[in-house]
Structure formats: C-alpha cells, structure tokens
Amino acid sequence: MPQLPIYLDNNAATRCDPRVVEAMLPFFTEAYGNAGSRHHAYGWKAAEAVDEARQLVADSIGADAKEIVFTSGATESNNLALKGAAVMYRRQGNHLVTVQTEHHAVLDPCRRLQREGYEVSFLPVDRFGRVTAEQVGAAITDKTILVSVMAANNEIGTLQPIAEIGRVCKVRKVLLHTDATQAVGKIPIDVEALQVDLLSLSGHKMYGPKGVGALFVRRRNPHVRLEPLLDGGGHERGLRSGTLPVPLVVGLGEACKLCGNEMPEEAKRCRALRDRLWQGLNENREGLFLNGHPEERLPGNLNVSFAQVRGEALLMALKNIAVSSGSACTSASVEPSYVLRALGVPDDLAHSSIRFGVGRFTTAEEIEFAIKEVTQTVQRLRLMSPDFQMTLNQ
C-alpha cells in the first residue's frame, strides 16, 4: 500500500526535489548576502551563485545567460513579455495574436491590452487543442507586433507546433512569445530551433521552488526590447527591478540542471506510467474519453472525461488521490473548462474531466492504486447517477 494520499497533480505543482532544497539551504543561513551588494564577500558570493544559476537556466533552453531575466514566476514573465512588448512596439502596431486555450496568465494580460486600445486575435483550436502555423500566418497583419502560443497546454498536455509557427513569425518579422511553463524540463526546448523571441518558465513546475521563474528575452536577430513593469533599482538589465531572491534563483538553476541531466529517462518513465494509467482506466469500460492530442502531448499528462459522473463529485470522493479538474488557477470555478470547450467537448463531459499529472516521484505502485481507486469510485458514483440509470433503462 503506497503512502496516502498519493500525488497525481504534477501539472499544478511539483514536489521540490531534495537536491534542489540542499542547494538552496546555504543561501538562507550562511551565504545570505544581497546579490546587488558589490563591496563585500557576502554580496560577491550571492552574485556568483546568481550568475551560475542564470547560466544553468540558459543552458536548459539553449539560450545565452545574458538573455535570462529572473522573475517571480511564469505569470510575471508572461505579463512582462506581453505588456512590455506591446508598449515598446506601440508605434509599429497594436495587434497581438494568441490562442483561445492559453493559460489565464496570457489571456488576462491580452484582455487588459484590449481595454487599453490594442487589438487581439484569439485563434480557435482543433479537437485536439492545436493550432497550425497557417492559422497564425493568416491572422498576422501589418499591425501585428507579437504572437503568443504556449508550448504545452497545462490542462490537456497538448503540444503546439512552435517551430513551424516560429518560422512563420520570422518571415513576417513578428515577435514570437511562448509560455513554456509546462514544457521546460519535461521535453526538449531550444529557443534557436523553435525561433522564439520570448519564453516564460517557472520553477515549481520542474521540481524547483515556488515564487521564482524566468523570461528569455532574445538579444540578437532580433534584439528584443521590453518596457519594464517594475521600476526601482534597475535590476535584471533594467527589465525587472527588485532584490533577487538568491535562494530561489539558486533552486531554479539546480532544478534546470537536474531536468537537463535526467530528462530522457524521466520522460520515458513518466510516459510509461501515464500510458499504464490510461490502459488501466480504459480496460473493458465505456464512457471514458481522452482529452487532448493522443500523441503530441506531455509525457506525464492524462486528461480524461468520465461520462455520467460529475467531476466535482469524483474529486470529493477520491480522498486518497490528489488530482484536479483542470488548471489549478481556475479549479474553483463551477463553469466547465474553457480549454475543453474550445476543443468542442460537450459541457457534460467537460464537467466530468479529471487531470492526472504523473511526475518524477510517482511510482508504479501508486499508478496501480489509482487505477483501482478511480475505477471503483466511478462505478459507485454512476450507480448513484440518475443519468446513468436512464442509460441502463433505455
């Protein structure tokens, strides 16, 4: 019997790897200087650690260390990328292109920009949650200054064709931003191969600490300029003022290093566990539907809908399994997932969706327990469901 409750919500947050914690600890109690203090050993030690972490983050996405700006997380990175570019390039145009299934950390800044006079095109997706480079190209106008398409969806795990979109944006001389929060550390990401100009990432999605993230800002071909959101002190090349949280930055760097070293085997292992979960849930059972792309998806993500079962009831009944009904940022909403709606999933199935997130510390024993627990719970809830009883009587 595994230790309960088992954690299968790794798309919402990952456990901080003990090796990351170990790397961070000295910067809380021993090397506690301010990285901006340049006149004594404590500051030098902190600055050296920040520089090393910046290089590790850059290495994880194929970037230059000078192109990494530390932030409080992907939400801030997305806001800085979108709003910063919109203001900086306002004279060149006022149009942005994004996708209906983006995280709220992209959609909400876009809607704010709309209220401020910008135009935003929200592209629809196919039934798997994907857009095409042709769609993006058709949406670009002579007023377009930025395209933002996430690398991997946080709810359904679908991967977008970022490299193809990148080629289109490069030809049209439009900046491309990608929210790669769910992708970095889980699948190979290279900013040069993808031809992205701005990329957001976050520590707590890749076994690092919460409260720290980064934004890649391209320095060459083109040299991207952003209007900062925060003023005061001119930290991070003037793009993000504020004293750096050195322990968190060190943790982010260590998390990036570990992911880079272990990604091939880890992805293979997570994919096998996820596939076993899907196989086990799907054995001889009707009314189970996969949401998202069956192949072009994150290795640890599984989003399924159970017909004739309310997702909220299922979540409450699964006391021994930590899962979610969608994005952690919107899981309190009683409305069906806007991501699933965009895929054309009917409201009843959208309401019955569960997102399973397999991660580094998930075990085969936990997967077998989850299969049995979920299967029994779904069967019990269906027997209590009036909709299911009507189906039996037909």
- Tell me, what amino acid is at 138? A
| Cβ neighbours, 10 Å, residue 364 | 12
Indicate the burial class of 275 (C-beta count within 10 angstroms; 0-12, 13-18, 19 or more): middle
Three-point CA angle 367, 373, 377, nearest 5° = 145
SS3 content of the chain, % helix, strand, coil (to 5): 45, 15, 40
Distant-in-sequence, close-in-space partners of 85: CB < 8 Å, separation ≥ 6: 145, 146, 175, 177, 198, 224, 226, 227
CA count, 13 A, side-chain hemisphere, 85:
31
Q: Distance between CA 162 and CA 11 in Å, rounded? A: 20
Token pair belonging to 12? 């919402």
Candidates 169, 256, 259, 329; catalytic one: 329
User: In 216-254, which positions are buried (b, 16+ CB within 10 angstroms) versus exposed (e)?
Assistant: bbbeeeeebebebeeeeeebbeebbeeebbbbbbbbbbb
Of 314, 322, 286, 316, the closest CA to residue 385 belongs to: 314
CA distances from 315 to 20, 140, 388 (A): 31, 41, 18
Q: In what order do the strands lie in the sheet with 288-291?
A: 288-291, 301-306, 353-357
* Element (DSSP H or E) covering residue 112: helix 104-115
Is 329 annotated in the active site?
A: yes
**Residues with catalytic function:** 329
